[in-house]
Amino acid sequence: MDKYKNLTRNFERGIINLNPIQRGGILPVEARKAVYEFWDGYSVCDYCGGRLDEISTPPICEFLEDFSKFVNLDISRPTHGAREGKFIVMHSICNEGDYVVVDGNAHYTTYVSAERARLNVVEVESEGYPTFRINPEKYKEVIDNLEDKGKNIGLILLTHVDGNYGNVSDAKKVGKIAKEKGYPFLLNCAYSVGRMPVDGKKLNADFIVASGHKSMAASGPCGVLAFRDEFAEKILKTSSKFPVKEIEMLGCTSRGLPIVTLMASFPHVVERVKRWDEEVKKARYVVEELEKIGFKQLGVKPKEHDLTKFETPVLDEIAKKDKRRGFFFYEELKKRGIGGIKRGVTKEIKMSVYGLTWEQVEYVVNAIKEIVETHK
């Protein structure tokens, strides 16, 4: 039992963390304070009248209304994350064996959600190396092809910002195609809602899934599913035996600390998305500076999102000579108080400077330049 004593994160405090999946989930002070109030199990259930989304102390009910306005859709429900939101939509609005059309950059959780809902998945391939761009027109081709074969299409899904290249896809166009063809359209906003402004109706989305721990400054796991009124009947169907309980939510989803941090961070998140242009400038600055030392940005150029993937042949060359091999980069960064880059990997790296101050961004860029210059 000793292994459970004094659990620590084993991640340096105060380190600048460049891991893209973690940068959007850092809690502001207000949310950290809420942790101390709500750390017990079922801590949001003190005044529950039977359903999570109707709780007003703490203000979950109002939060869901505020969130719907934030993403400009009609109804919202808490989830445990983006993946659970995708599964709920697939399971409630599709029929077993239906086809889901997804982009070639879709996250693995899109595929496992579809599998769990017993659906088939067809991909719209990206344009491949080096941009990996998703061409909205290709959705039309894939849909036509499925229709010609007499297949039932249940859902069109697009990853708004993918987790590999940080490409911002043209949701509005894909949504328009889905609408013209008469299919519901789900936008996976795990990497967008909470970082950048997202307007569901403007983007022609019927459903948006968001991730609290990835992009809304919340503890994991939590997220939100927002959708249009017309899908309420299917998504919010209640149990015949327990008429107050929504089946797709298994009664209640996030019922403790994570949803509290999501709410406590919400004002901070609402403010930070207004500064999105500045975050994009930071990402472009990083690309401009690191391409000077031989890094090559993959994905669409110029950057429109903080998640940035580089090919790094220069690091690979150094790794061949350095006795620490691929680990030299991680170790040199660590010495300089920087973490979050995968250990031992030198061919390609993924990073983000989202939410760092300009001073920190410059520090990171200079540290990487110095490591390369002094080791090559």
Ligand X SMILES: Cc1ncc(COP(=O)(O)O)c(C=O)c1O
Write down the least CB distance from residue 165 to ligand X, Å. 11
Q: How far is the CB of 214 from ligand X (least distance, A)?
A: 5
* Least distance in angstroms from the C-beta of 217 to ligand X: 13
Q: How far is the CB of 160 from ligand X (least distance, A)?
A: 8
Q: Which residues bind ligand X (CB under 6 A)?
A: 21, 81-83, 107, 109, 159, 162-163, 188, 190-191, 211, 214, 223
Q: Is 254 labelled a binding residue?
A: no
Q: Which is nearer to ligand X, 125 or 370 (CB)?
A: 125
Residue closer to ligand X by CB (options 53, 162) is 162
Paired with 207 in beta bridges are 186, 227
Contact 194, 163 (CB under 8 A): no
In this structure, how many other beta carbons lie within 10 angstroms of the beta carbon of residue 359?
A: 8
Rounded distance, CA 173 to CA 39, Å?
43
Q: How far is the CB of 65 from ligand X (least distance, A)?
A: 22
Residue 203 CB, shortest distance to ligand X, in Å, is 16
C-beta of 83 vs 91, nearer to ligand X: 83
> Residue 279 is encoded by which pair of tokens?
């975050």
| Three-state SS annotation for 200-268 | CCCCCCCEEEEEHHHHCCCCCCCEEEEECHHHHHHHCCECCCCCCCECCCCECCCCCHHHHHHHHHHHH
Kindly list the distances between the CA atom of residue 79 and the CA atoms of 61, 92, 163, 256, in Å, as whole numbers in the listed order.
14, 15, 20, 12
* Nearest CB to ligand X, comparing residues 79 and 120: 79
Q: How far is the CB of 181 from ligand X (least distance, A)?
A: 24
DSSP string, 171-200: HHHHHHHHHHHT--EEEE-TTTBTTB---T
Q: Distance between CA 66 and CA 253 in Å, rounded?
A: 18
DSSP 3-state assignment of 145? helix
Residue 231, amino acid: F
219 versus 332: smaller Cβ distance to ligand X: 219
Nearest CB to ligand X, comparing residues 162 and 332: 162
Residue 254 or residue 315: which is nearer to ligand X going by CB? 254
Rounded to whole angstroms, the Cα distance separating 374 from 245 reads 62
Residue type, 57: T
Residue 82, annotated ligand binder?
yes
- What does the DSSP 8-state code read for residue 43? T
Q: Does 167 carry a binding-site annotation?
A: no
212 in a known ligand binding site: yes
Q: At what angle do helices 257-272 and 29-37 cross, to 10 degrees?
A: 160
Which residues carry a binding-site annotation? 82-83, 188, 211-213
Which residues carry a binding-site annotation for pyridoxal 5'-phosphate? 82-83, 188, 211-213
